[in-house]
Amino acid sequence: MEYKREAFSAEIELKADGDEGTFTGLASTFGNMDLTRDIIEPGAFAKSLKKRPARRIKMLFGHNVDEPIGVFKAVEEKKEGLFVEGKLILDVQRAKETHALMREKALDAMSIGFRTVVDEFDSDKRVRTLKEIELFEISIVVFPANERARIRTVKEAFQSGDTPTKRELEHCLRDVCGFSGSDAKAFIAKGYDGLPLRGDATDEDLREIADALRGM
């Protein structure tokens, strides 16, 4: 049995009203490729959620089965991905610490633990599409493996006429375009001329970068 943990830079939002410790966010997103070249298809969670509703999906800290930190009040598929509403049990010390860190945006990622039931592998693109998965737990984690939320932030900034930060652009150049960290920094500082000279570099390279950023 394959058991996989997949982390997403989640849109966690602590609720200002109602029960303290309640939060909402996306625990997973549909249609984008993660760093292990997996794509989750819409509907992939449907059968699992019928069999295991929100209250039976464990909320853990860092996938540690010895550290449950709360309960889920809602887990459901929406257009963008797997939406959750959870409540941290603040009588638990780790949950109390997690709540404080989430409030200051020091923790903003969730990760799903699941088993693949049905998938499809494209050998040419080396991409696997997950069509049905069994969801066991959702964890609050420190480091996300999927950068879509950062990428979406940059795209929305461009669309609204704002300027994203240098750090946000660096993430996109690395995670979308495949730049090394040093090349991403050089590109932002000096543009295309700041990159190391490559004998096969052409205008097409620049167009590919632009297309990648445009398609985020």
Report pLDDT digits (tens) over 50-109.
999 999 999 999 888 999 999 999 999 999 899 999 999 999 999 999 999 888 888 888
Alpha-carbon span 54 to 130, nearest angstrom: 21
Strand residues in 20-173 grouped as ranges (E)? 22-29, 38-40, 58-61, 64-77, 81-88, 109-122, 127-141
Same domain, 153 and 141: no
Residue pair 85/74 in contact (Cβ under 8 Å)? The answer is yes
Q: Do 139 and 61 belong to one domain?
A: yes
Query: Which pLDDT value is given to residue 88?
Result: 94
How far is residue 86's CA from residue 109's CA, in Å, rounded to a whole number? 13
* DSSP 8-state symbol, 178: -
Q: Give the domain range for residue 106.
A: 4-146
List residues bridging with 94 in a β-sheet.
Answer: none
Do 74 and 28 share a structural domain?
yes
Name the percent of the chain lying above pLDDT 90. Answer: 33
- Token pair 């006429």 is found at 161
- Asked if residue 199 has pLDDT above 50, the reply is no
Q: Which residue has the tokens 């959870």?
A: 86
Under 8 Å between Cβ of 187 and 178: no
Distant-in-sequence, close-in-space partners of 104: CB < 8 Å, separation ≥ 6: none
Task: Measure the CA–CA gap between 74 and 72, rounded to whole angstroms.
Answer: 6
In whole angstroms, give the CA distance from residue 185 to residue 179. Answer: 9
The pairing of beta strand 38-40 with beta strand 127-141: parallel
How many domains, the chain?
2
Residue finishing a domain among 131, 146, 161: 146
Residues 32 and 130 in one domain: yes
Asked whether residue 161 falls in the same domain as residue 113, the answer is: no
* 197, 173: one domain: yes
Q: Decide if pLDDT at 178 tops 50.
A: yes
Chosen domain end from 105, 124, 146:
146
What distance, in Å, lies between the first and last C-alpha atoms of the chain? 33
Q: 139 and 197: one domain?
A: no
In which element (H, E) is residue 214 found?
Answer: helix 203-214
In a shared domain, residues 136 and 160: no
Helix axes 181-190 and 166-175, enclosed angle (nearest 10)? 130
State pLDDT tens for residues 4-55. Answer: 566 554 456 766 545 688 988 888 889 888 767 789 999 999 999 999 999 9
Query: What pLDDT, on the 0 to 100 scale, is given for residue 209?
Result: 59
